[in-house]
């Protein structure tokens, strides 16, 4: 089986916004407590944050982290997480049927984000609360001094404001599972009024309005149309969320789900264009795909806690998917999709970062390790910075119910002008055949191969663990040579390749 790809340096889709390699920390499960924060851990710093986790997060170079939710935010009182820790209340979290100690709040999380080198992307509660509380939270976080909330922040130990730029106006407000679920008109009105108030404080904020919780919602895409008709002039992004499952153990179908996600993105992009035209607006709204990942492995084991059969435990082990090699291949395909859609998708948050459907896992008091999905995410986060290029791919295809033309070779390319590097990210979806991939380069000068890493040859169900943390990790690929502005490589079945070329 042969595939021909043409890469033209001048065929630019868009500059890749580094924030598509963002992530997400929610007050749920062990994402925070025994995830990023464990004062008794041997590696903990003075603030109680796990040093081993800090180093793994730094390794990923996550530019932005969404916080504090997620479903959690829709019943969250942000004031519970400020002031002396011994005076903070324990609350019952209705979203995840657990107890929240509030030992981590905005001050602590901001310190952690600064330590790992990430900006914060904060969410306000538009479920059980509204405009006034959102305005107060913004003032507490971003105003220098001289007002009630800014002076309270200073009293609580933070002299300078954090200057958070990007704010989410609630979370999944169309979902019946959400505290304070709203109709599209109800949500559109409160989101608009909240955005208007926040912009009265600072017109340069970036605001994210809630889109549908998934493309399977019965209100999709009517929800997007209605919400944007209310908010178009007051916001900058609309959010998309999507999770991926393989209960049928159908690998071909599973690895094709990146095309389903692309169709979701295209539909929302078209809806944005429709509302833009209807309003005769020159403003462009972009997409914040601020929740995405594989999520299905832990569903059965989570039922007792989420149904309330275990009472109200603090930081229970929920949504702790153990990712296998198959999941890593899909994550690589999904990242390729974000790169190819970088003209409209400017923010994306892998949900989540530690323990909860996450690339990093920990044992309480013990080890931290990289899950399989850590590796394709890291390679893209480090190297997919620059201009995404439109590829001309001639690949054999297969069919699934949402696409008749799923290419066996899934590929993206990013050219970094400053570093003079061309980075290729390649997945072979074929379950049994190697593919002879010939790539032709146009408008490049004197390219040579500087790196080749691969994830290949693993059983699809293989996982990493505390005992075997490196069972699946990138290996050095074969030596490759460019001849007459072309390169040929045999791509093994069900494999992932990262190839870097330099001018």
193 is catalytic: no
Locate tokens 């480090």: which residue? 382
Tokens of 273: 């264009």
* 401 belongs to the catalytic site: no
Gap between the Cα atoms of 493 and 503, Å rounded: 30
- Annotated catalytic residue within 108, 139, 262, 291: 291
Q: Can you tell me the distance from the alpha carbon of 371 to that of 476, in angstroms, rounded to the nearest whole number?
A: 19
Q: Peptide bond preceding 364: is omega within 30 degrees of 0, i.e. cis?
A: no
Task: Catalytic residue, from 38, 139, 172, 262: name it.
Answer: 172
Q: In Å, what is the CA distance from 209 to each residue of 78, 142, 212, 227, 287?
A: 19, 20, 10, 8, 10
Contact, 451 vs 498, CB < 8 A? Answer: yes
Nearest to 293 by CA among 177, 372, 383, 218: 372
Cβ contacts of 133 within 8 Å, gap of 6 or more: 77, 78, 124, 125
Strands (E), 295-420: 345-351, 360-362, 368-370, 387-394, 397-400, 403-407, 409-416
SS3 content of the chain, % helix, strand, coil (to 5): 30, 30, 40
Residue 445 Cα distances to 54, 120, 482, angstroms: 39, 39, 12
Residue tagged 């990093």 (tokens): 360
Q: Which residues are catalytic?
A: 172, 291
């Amino acid at each position: 089986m042969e595939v021909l790809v043409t890469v033209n340096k001048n065929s630019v889709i868009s500059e890749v916004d580094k924030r598509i390699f963002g992530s997400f920390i929610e007050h749920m499960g062990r994402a925070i407590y025994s995830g990023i924060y464990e004062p008794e851990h041997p590696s903990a710093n003075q603030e109680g944050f796990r040093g081993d986790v800090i180093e793994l997060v730094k390794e990923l170079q996550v530019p932005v982290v969404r916080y504090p939710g997620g479903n959690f935010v829709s019943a969250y009182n942000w004031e519970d997480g400020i002031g002396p820790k011994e005076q903070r209340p324990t609350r019952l979290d209705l979203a995840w049927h657990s107890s929240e100690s509030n030992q981590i709040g905005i001050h602590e999380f901001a310190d952690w984000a600064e330590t790992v080198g990430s900006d914060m992307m904060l969410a306000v509660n538009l479920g059980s609360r509204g405009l006034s509380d959102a305005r107060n939270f913004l003032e507490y976080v971003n105003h220098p001094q001289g007002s009630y909330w800014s002076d309270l922040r200073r009293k609580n130990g933070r002299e300078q404001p954090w200057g958070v730029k990007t704010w989410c106006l609630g979370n999944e407000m169309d979902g019946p599972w959400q505290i304070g679920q709203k109709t599209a008109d109800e949500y559109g009105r409160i989101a608009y009024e909240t955005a208007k108030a926040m912009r009265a404080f600072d017109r340069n904020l970036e605001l994210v309005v809630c889109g549908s919780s998934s493309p399977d919602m019965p209100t999709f895409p009517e929800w997007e149309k209605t919400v944007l008709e209310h908010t178009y002039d007051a916001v900058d992004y609309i959010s998309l969320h999507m999770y991926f499952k393989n209960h049928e153990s159908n690998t071909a179908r599973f690895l094709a789900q990146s095309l389903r996600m692309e169709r979701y993105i295209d539909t929302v992009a078209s809806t944005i264009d429709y509302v833009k035209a209807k309003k005769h607006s020159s403003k462009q709204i972009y997409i914040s795909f601020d929740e995405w990942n594989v999520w299905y492995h832990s569903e059965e084991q989570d039922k007792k806690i989420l149904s309330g059969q275990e009472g109200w435990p603090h930081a229970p082990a929920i949504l702790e998917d153990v990712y296998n090699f198959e999941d890593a291949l899909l994550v690589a395909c999904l990242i390729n999709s974000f790169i190819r859609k970088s003209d409209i998708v400017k923010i994306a948050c892998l949900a989540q970062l530690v323990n909860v459907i996450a690339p990093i896992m920990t044992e309480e008091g013990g080890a931290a390790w990289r899950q399989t999905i850590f590796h394709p995410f890291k390679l893209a986060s480090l190297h997919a910075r620059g201009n995404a290029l439109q590829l001309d791919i001639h690949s054999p295809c297969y069919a699934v119910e949402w696409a008749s033309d799923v290419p066996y070779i899934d590929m993206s390319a990013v050219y970094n002008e400053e570093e003079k590097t061309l980075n290729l990210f390649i997945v072979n979806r074929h379950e049994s055949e190697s593919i002879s991939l010939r790539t032709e380069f146009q408008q490049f000068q004197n390219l040579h191969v500087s790196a080749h890493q691969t994830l290949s040859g693993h059983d699809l169900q293989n996982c990493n663990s505390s005992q075997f943390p490196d069972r699946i990790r990138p290996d050095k690929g074969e030596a490759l040579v460019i001849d007459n502005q072309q390169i040929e490589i045999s791509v093994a079945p069900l494999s992932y390749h990262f190839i870097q070329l330099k001018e």
